[in-house]
Structure 1
Amino acid sequence: MFNKNRNPLKNEIYISLFKIAAPVALQNLIISSLSFVDTLMIGQLGEVEIAAVGIGNQLFFLYTLLLFGIGSASGIFVSQFWGKKDYASIRKTSGLSVLLGLAGALPFSFLSLIIPEKLVGIFSTDREVIRLGADYVSVVAVSYLFSAVVITMSQVQRSIEKANLPFIVSAVSLGMNTLLNWLLIFGKAGFPALGVSGAAIATAVARGVECILLIVLIYNGRENPAAGTFREMTGFSADFLKRFIKTASPVIINELFWALGMTVFKVVYGRMGTSALASVNIAEAVMNLMFVAMIGSSTGTAVLTGKKIGEGDYDGARRNGRSFIKFALIEGIVIALICAAFSGILPRGFNVDDSLKQSASIIILIFSAFLPFKSFNIHSIVGIFRGGGDTLFAAVTEIAGVWGVGVVLAFITGIYLELPVYIVYAFVSLEEVVKSVICMMRVRSEKWVHDLT
């Protein structure tokens, strides 16, 4: 059933995929590097500080996945409108996604400013971790509004095959964040040594600059299809809003429940002890760097799938979907080998006990073993199914895997059996195997093609 092309890299679809995937992957590498730099610099202060910043990043992660859900939903529409060259609809979709993102930012910012200790206390019972984590969370709260614009507008730019703009602004943001981290965490060049609070200030300022720069680049010369006036971007009808919400709801629910599942995992690790949580945070800082290529290619998969459907070439969309799955499996295996090769090296950069470094290395090796499954799943769920408008099936599959398998096994192995953290992580990762079986059946059925425009 799958395409028998012996030279897939010569195929035009792979060239188009690379043009989108490369800047998206580089942007996500920058974003992950920003998190890695934060964790690495804070790691020079100790494991309590690592745990505190890790919790702060987990709360922001929960919020960004709400934005990713909104952005992904808009990307489904925008990529299909892009196939039809319907620029007016691209602008109103862009405006709607920004408004929804800003609306979602308000409660997160408010709670982070008013009750930061209670939020951090969900993840840890260590008083010092709670104190430092609350300082971090309350400072970065203001940046949630900036991220609402950046994440939603970046997704729109990718969906119209202008992925270079988000990449540029992220590169500037990383450079600024790294410099400010160095100045404010350690007190260089006459600045005060603020530790965790310094990292929070650096992150907030960098996100603000990123937001402003992205807006300037999009509206420079008004040649960008998404650069509309206020009236153009808010001119969506009630019928369009209804259609958007119908498609977006499964995506947003998908992202929220997935994020809540990831949060539950962190709660389990935190309840196992500060050392367990710190080892997971170190491992994830490394693993996120390895995952960026898959994020890029799955995003490109969604854009090109939606574009084909928008053009009315449904058979072409199905044919490309089969090619994307082949690519996903090869990509997963290659990245797994690279990740495994560096599993014992990167954790050495952290100023923590050798036992934590060893635990983090084992977790990275386990992550590597499951990477081919993860790659297949992200290309299926985020790429093919969402790009094809099959958002409900994608949501059910994701939620069932995380909560029906991952969360259950996390509580059994981590809380009830009290197994070592790396064994708990291995059991949690079994969800990827279950999801891959379900996704393969759906891809083969070819029932995921839906024209939403």
Structure 2
Amino acid sequence: MNLHFSKATQHAIPNGFMGKVTRLAVPVAIQSALVAILQLADVLMVSDFGKEATASVGIATKWHFVIIMISAGIASANGILVAQYWGKKDTDSAKTVTYLALKYGAYLMLPLTLLIVLGSDTIMLLQTSDTEVIRLGSTYIWYSIPVLMLTHCVVIAESSLRSSGNAMLPLILGGATALINICLNFWLIKGGLGIEPMGVAGAALATTIARLFQVLAIAVALYKMKHWTLSANFLPNPQRLTRSFAKLAVPSTANTIIWAFGTLTYQVIFGHMGTTELAVFSMMGPFEGLCYSAFFGIAVACSVLVGQSLGDDQFAQAESMANWFIKTIFICSVALAIILLIFKQHVLSALHLTSDELYPLASPAMAIFAILLAVRMTNMLIIIGILRAGGENTFCLRMDFIAMWLVGIPFLAIGAFLLNLPFEYVYGLMLTEEIVKFGLCFTRFLKRKWVKNLTLTPA
């Protein structure tokens, strides 16, 4: 992978670069791993109650995931601008952007929460016709009513903290939240200390309580630190900044919605293939998230450092760092793929996927996932860490629509319903999306249209 633009670019990486990468990537990676472990813990603990319980948690959390992706899209725009204004040393604009992200996200979260709660029985018919799975999934959603709004506050706060170089606070508070959540999972799902086993409802209630703790802890920590998100001033006339934020947030949010509904559509297809297929797909999802964790940390570090350099007009430095990040994530993901293939049997055993019913589906799917891991991680790095850092949100929206909705989903549906292919072949067809995406995003990266400063000059 020969990535270089000029001799000047190759030598533009600043002093202390590796230290900055480590301080950003490692905390984000650990925190992302904790989130994935929590999701995996939910699925594994309720799996003792049967494959219907496993599938129901997979379905309910997928709806949460779809809505939270709206927050993620807003947080992406927030993080891009905060990083660039931080590079410009303009905390007033950074605080104003954070406030805009919280406000407009809340306008979306509240009605969407009501929609999925009140319509839980109906919306889950999209994914399965199993009445027991629908009943349990609806129970999970009702016990986790506040989670979406609480998560929105967390996602926005963490994006501002990381984009201003503080990845440790989100990690510390995220780690405490994860510990609380896991302890509550053991207690509420399995029962004990006067509490009857709650099963699926216990998993949802544990998540709600832990997320409430996290929001309160972030608020207290920022107050104690007299953090810039509280101490800086709001811009008196933020109209120009609002338009700048909307220009990034609208395509970014549309992008995440299209992508999230695409992943939901994948689950719908697997759900209608059968409850066993849906259970395997639901159990592999959190494990895939765990594998992505380290690479997500690298992508976030790339986004922050490249964004700060672009905001400070250090374009050669931004390009040089982008090259380094691509090479690094590609090599690391190939190494992880080899490890997964060697220890596949142990991984499937840890995921409770070695039963006679589940293993024939899970084993080949795990091999396919490992083989294409490097392509998927390189895509993530280029999209999250480079293109979006340079404001290429509209391109990313078009790319995801083409790769997912014009290639991945149609191929998957044809394989599942017209050709009646086995689970492993259908799972493999889902990943054609990543191959198309790689061609599109890597070509865009080489065109260098992302190399630009997005901050506003004084009016």
- Per-residue CA distance 1:86-109 (angstroms, 9 max, x = gap): 010111111111112222211222
Is contact 1:185-1:198 (8 Å) kept?
yes
Aligned counterpart for 1:397 among listed residues 392, 396, 399? 399
Is contact 2:185-2:202 (8 Å) kept?
yes
Is contact 2:92-2:235 (8 Å) kept?
no
Q: Which shifted more, 29-38 or 351-360?
A: 351-360
Task: State how 1:348-387 maps to structure 2 within 5 Å.
Answer: 348-349=349-350, 353-387=355-389
Cα distance in structure 1, aligned partners of 2:186 and 2:166 = 32
Cα distance in structure 2, aligned partners of 1:406 and 1:164 = 37
Secondary structure class of the residue paired with 2:124: helix
Deviation of 1:338 (Å): 2.8
Q: Which shifted more, 148-157 or 213-222?
A: 213-222
1:205 aligned partner: 209
Cα distance in structure 2, aligned partners of 1:403 and 1:61 = 18
Is contact 1:20-1:158 (8 Å) kept?
yes
Cα distance in structure 2, aligned partners of 1:262 and 1:236 = 39
Deviation of 1:442 (Å): 1.7
Is contact 1:61-1:259 (8 Å) kept?
yes
Task: State how 1:433-448 maps to structure 2 within 5 Å.
Answer: 433-448=435-450
Q: Which shifted more, 388-397 or 27-36?
A: 388-397
Deviation of 1:404 (Å): 1.6
Calculate the aligned-residue CA RMSD, in Å.
2.1
Matched, 1:181 2:185: yes
Cα distance in structure 1, aligned partners of 2:11 and 2:283 = 39
Secondary structure class of the residue paired with 2:230: coil
Q: Which shifted more, 440-449 or 426-435?
A: 440-449
Deviation of 1:228 (Å): 4.0
Residues 226 and 151 of structure 1: is their aligned pair in 2 closer, same or farther, counting only changes over 3 Å?
A: same
Task: State how 1:220-239 maps to structure 2 within 5 Å.
Answer: 220-222=224-226, 224-228=227-231, 232=233, 237-239=238-240
Cα distance in structure 2, aligned partners of 1:219 and 1:157 = 14
Give 1:321's aligned amino acid: A
Secondary structure class of the residue paired with 1:140: coil
1:408 aligned partner: 410
Residues 416 and 234 of structure 1: is their aligned pair in 2 closer, same or farther, counting only changes over 3 Å?
A: farther
Aligned counterpart for 1:86 among listed residues 80, 87, 90? 90
Cα distance in structure 1, aligned partners of 2:160 and 2:211 = 18
Secondary structure class of the residue paired with 2:357: helix
2:323 aligned partner: 322
Is contact 1:74-1:97 (8 Å) kept?
yes
Deviation of 1:351 (Å): 5.6
Deviation of 1:26 (Å): 0.5
Cα distance in structure 1, aligned partners of 2:225 and 2:178 = 26
Residues 234 and 153 of structure 1: is their aligned pair in 2 closer, same or farther, counting only changes over 3 Å?
A: farther
TM-score between the two structures when normalised by the length of structure 2 = 0.93
2:59 aligned partner: 55
Cα distance in structure 1, aligned partners of 2:332 and 2:341 = 14
Secondary structure class of the residue paired with 2:452: coil
1:341 aligned partner: 342
Cα distance in structure 1, aligned partners of 2:228 and 2:398 = 33
Q: Which runs of 4+ in 1 moved over 6 A?
A: 4-11
Is contact 1:112-1:141 (8 Å) kept?
no
1:101 aligned partner: 105
For structure 1, list consecutive stretches of 5 or more residues without a partner in the other structure.
none
Residues 118 and 287 of structure 1: is their aligned pair in 2 closer, same or farther, counting only changes over 3 Å?
A: same
1:29 aligned partner: 33
1:311 aligned partner: 312
1:332 aligned partner: 333
Is contact 1:266-1:277 (8 Å) kept?
yes
Residues 441 and 112 of structure 1: is their aligned pair in 2 closer, same or farther, counting only changes over 3 Å?
A: closer
Is contact 2:12-2:320 (8 Å) kept?
no
Cα distance in structure 2, aligned partners of 1:372 and 1:446 = 22
2:173 aligned partner: 169
Cα distance in structure 1, aligned partners of 2:348 and 2:46 = 14
For structure 2, list consecutive stretches of 5 or more residues without a partner in the other structure.
none
Residues 11 and 433 of structure 1: is their aligned pair in 2 closer, same or farther, counting only changes over 3 Å?
A: farther
Deviation of 1:141 (Å): 2.0
Matched, 1:218 2:218: no
- Per-residue CA distance 1:207-266 (angstroms, 9 max, x = gap): 1111111121122131x222347xx45856222111111111111111110001101000
Is contact 2:12-2:317 (8 Å) kept?
no
Cα distance in structure 2, aligned partners of 1:448 and 1:161 = 21
Q: Which shifted more, 317-326 or 272-281?
A: 317-326
Deviation of 1:13 (Å): 3.0
2:20 aligned partner: 16
Deviation of 1:417 (Å): 1.4
Give 2:79's aligned amino acid: G
Identity between Structure 1 and Structure 2 (%):
30
Is contact 2:312-2:453 (8 Å) kept?
no
1:259 aligned partner: 260
Residues 176 and 40 of structure 1: is their aligned pair in 2 closer, same or farther, counting only changes over 3 Å?
A: same
Cα distance in structure 2, aligned partners of 1:70 and 1:129 = 32
Is contact 1:329-1:376 (8 Å) kept?
yes
Deviation of 1:196 (Å): 0.7
Cα distance in structure 2, aligned partners of 1:156 and 1:339 = 34
1:42 aligned partner: 46
Q: Which shifted more, 44-53 or 348-357?
A: 348-357
